[in-house]
């Protein structure tokens, strides 16, 4: 299949547009300041944010990183005006390519309980429910 998106890594000048895309697509939870997540993802070479453009329009994103054990993908978003035309598949393929290039062989992602409908999208591109429970704690002072 021919790719529609031109995919590249985020630059500082993209940050405002990326946050706007995340709000527009509903992928930014109200309790996570997106600026902080972006700065943290860009702190070293283990992670980055991939952006998908068509023409001069930013229409897709995927935050991607590896933690020494698995590859992870977050903030997978396609502009609502461009959804259901294969761009989600393309940005996920770019995320997987980025991880494979760094030696990862498994990729994982989290789906919020309130966003279960998106499971169909991931299943259609080969992902399976890990049937594990994800737990969290806040460890900063």
| Contact pick of 4, 58, 89, 108 for ligand COA (by CB under 6 A) | 89
Any idea of the CA torsion for 112, 128, 81, 13, to the nearest 10 degrees?
Answer: 70
Minimum distance from residue 104 beta carbon to ligand COA (Å): 18
With respect to ligand COA, which residue has the nearer C-beta, 24 or 48? 24
Give the footprint of ligand COA on residues 96-125 (CB under 6 A): 111, 115, 117-118, 120-121, 124
Distance CA 95, CA 76 (A): 9
Proportion of the chain in helix, strand, coil states, percent, rounded to 5: 35, 25, 40
Query: What is the SS3 assignment for 132?
Result: coil
47 binds ligand COA per the rule CB under 6 A: no
Binding residue count for ligand COA, defined by CB under 6 A: 20
Minimum distance from residue 22 beta carbon to ligand COA (Å): 8
Distance CA 58, CA 79 (A): 8
Interface residue list for ligand COA (CB under 6 A): 25-27, 76-78, 83-89, 111, 115, 117-118, 120-121, 124
């Amino acid at each position: 299949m021919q790719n529609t998106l031109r995919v590249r890594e985020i630059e500082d000048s993209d940050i405002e547009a990326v946050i706007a895309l995340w709000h527009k697509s509903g992928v930014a939870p109200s309790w996570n300041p997106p600026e902080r997540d972006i700065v943290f993802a860009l702190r070293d070479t283990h992670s980055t944010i991939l952006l998908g453009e068509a023409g001069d329009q930013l229409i897709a994103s995927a935050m991607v990183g590896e933690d020494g054990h698995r590859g992870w993908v977050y903030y997978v978003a396609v502009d609502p005006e461009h959804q259901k035309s294969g761009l989600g598949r393309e940005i996920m393929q770019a995320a997987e390519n980025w991880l494979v290039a760094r030696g990862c062989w498994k990729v994982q992602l989290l789906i919020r309980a309130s966003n279960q409908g998106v499971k169909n999208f991931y299943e259609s591109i080969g992902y399976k429910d890990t049937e594990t429970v994800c737990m969290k704690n806040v460890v900063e002072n």
